[in-house]
Amino acid sequence: ANGNVSTSELADISNVVTHSKSISPWSRQLLETFHTQVISTFAATGGQFKLTTHYQKYAVGLVCDFLKRSGSTYFPRLNRNQVGVGLLLRIANPGIIKQGYSSLCGPVSLLFNVATDSPAGYAKFAIDIFEKGRGKIGRLEIKPGRDMRNYLPPDYVTVDGERIKVDVHQADWLTMASIRDSENFLLVSASVEDEGAGITTAGGLAQWFRLAGYTDVADHTVILDH
C-alpha cells in the first residue's frame, strides 16, 4: 500500500511460501520468486524493496495487473512470474538493468533512461512486447522476430573452452533483445552469443533516444578507418 516491502514483510512472505496450505502453486511460485529476487538484488541495502515516486507506484500497478493475468504470450520460453518480478525490481532500481554476457549495451542504456524517466512507459513497453509481440517507446516501434521470441538465454555458455555465466534476466532479455532484434534487417539477435547482431552503433543509439522522445541528444563519435 505504501510502495515499500520491508524486511519484516519479506519474512512474512517467506513464511507464507513455506507454511501455507491453501495458496495455489502459481501464487506460491510468484511469492517465492519475488522474495528470492528482492533478497538477492537488494542485499546491499538490507533487502528492502522501496518505491520513492508516484510514477514508480503507478508503473508497479501496471505490472501487478500483468502478473494477475494468465493469457498467452509471444515469448513461450519466458516465464510471466520471472518477467513480472524482474520488472518490479527494475522499476524500483533501473540500475540493475544489465546486459550480462551479451553485446546489448546499446538497448540497456536506452532502457535505463526510460525506466528512470518514465517507469510506466518502461512497464507498458515490456508488457506489450510480452503479450502482443510488439510495443512502443515514444515513436520507437519495436517488433522482434520469431527466432528471438522463441529463445531463452542459457545459464552458461562455453567460449574458447571457458565456461562463462550469461547472467541475463528474463525481463532484460525480453526488452533489450527485442529492441535490438527489431532493428536488424540482415542479422537476428536470437542468441546471447550473436555478438554482431547485438551491437548498436552510436548513431543508431542516438536515433533510438530521439524516437523515444529525448530532445537533447548529441552524437560526437567519429569512426576511423584503419
Q: Quick one: which of 131, 2, 115 has its CA closest to 66?
A: 131
pLDDT of residue 191: 52
pLDDT of residue 187: 38
pLDDT of residue 101: 84
pLDDT of residue 193: 53
pLDDT of residue 186: 33
pLDDT of residue 45: 64
How far is residue 75 CA from its own chain's centroid? 13
Q: What average pLDDT values come out for the chain (226 residues) when binned by 10 residues?
A: 89 95 94 94 78 96 95 94 97 94 90 98 98 96 93 89 92 94 54 53 91 94 73
pLDDT of residue 226: 62
How big is the chain, counted in residues? 226
